[in-house]
A and B are shown apart, each in its own frame.
Chain A
């Protein structure tokens, strides 16, 4: 009677409903989901906040809020991505409360060199991570949101209350700074 696709959609929906029900109160399932997704969510929070204690706090708050409001999870994205989104919003709210300056002039500072987009290719994960930690706060946040969280500049500008051009400028500045810092480590 039902097509294969309809069956699959139905089963998927049933599975989501079951998980939602369990996530509301079943501590074992909550712990399982936490352990499965915490690394990804923690990494996102840490990239934005640059502080392990705050990152842990906001990551855990995001999980607790997600479990409490699991009914609003529609299942059109992965659960980890949904929780990550909650965590990122919490981190950004925190930075806004701290009045972190996200805005900057759309022009790249005169004193800054614009590095060749095709660098020498001496990248590795740890060097880039270290370089990101040394970025100015606004730069780091925009860079993380655009490249790691795949937010476009329009969404970033809305979320941070800055101009789209400012978001692009921060991103460019962050990229150049990282290339510069990574190169420095080779000298």
Chain B
């Protein structure tokens, strides 16, 4: 080993005594604080990203049955017309019949107990039909539900016809 190397090895500690730059400790504390904030932001970012991924997966699994069902299905429920074109014809027949006849019943007085009871029954059947639409969506176009929906239409039409008859009677009595 040369004299130079020996000298350096013997005075090694003196070589490590460099004057530190002014304010280095403050700069270090600022850097470490900044790094901490960046790390926290990174953790927050990944948490949010993870939450979004979970939501997307959950949303996807909820929406998947909808995409597997016929087109134009209302989210969470399904009309008869969504099942097939035959069912669409049936639905069209009953809804047009009901709308047409129902429009002419507006003047009927609900003070008549029978009329009130029939209107109540209609309201009940309307609500029941909405339930059946939801059940049809959940069941994946079950035949049992389709038959119940057609039966519901038939009953409503029957009630509306009864109400028409009452209206006719009321009209002939007033003349």
Chain A residues with a Cβ under 8 A of chain B: 27, 30-31, 34-35, 38-40, 42-44, 46, 52-53, 56, 60-61, 63-64, 67-68, 117-119, 121, 123, 125, 128-129, 147-148, 175, 178-179
Contact = CB atoms under 8 A, between A and B. Distances in A.
Contact of B28 (A60, A121, A123, A128): A60
Contacts of A118: 2-3
B3 A123 contact: yes
A148 B3 CA distance: 15
A132 to B, nearest CB: 9
B53 interface: no
Nearest to A118: B3
B15 A43 contact: yes
Contacts of A30: 32
Interface stretch (B19-27, B73-81, B129-137): B19-27
A39 B4 contact: no
Contacts of A46: 18
A129 B31 contact: no
A40 B7 CA distance: 18
A63 B27 CA distance: 12
Contacts of B18: 39, 42-43, 46
B20 A38 contact: yes
Contacts of B39: 68
Interface string B9-41: 101101111101100110111011001000100
A117 B16 contact: no
Contacts of A56: 21, 24, 27
Nearest to B9: A147
Contact of B4 (A27, A35, A43, A175): A175
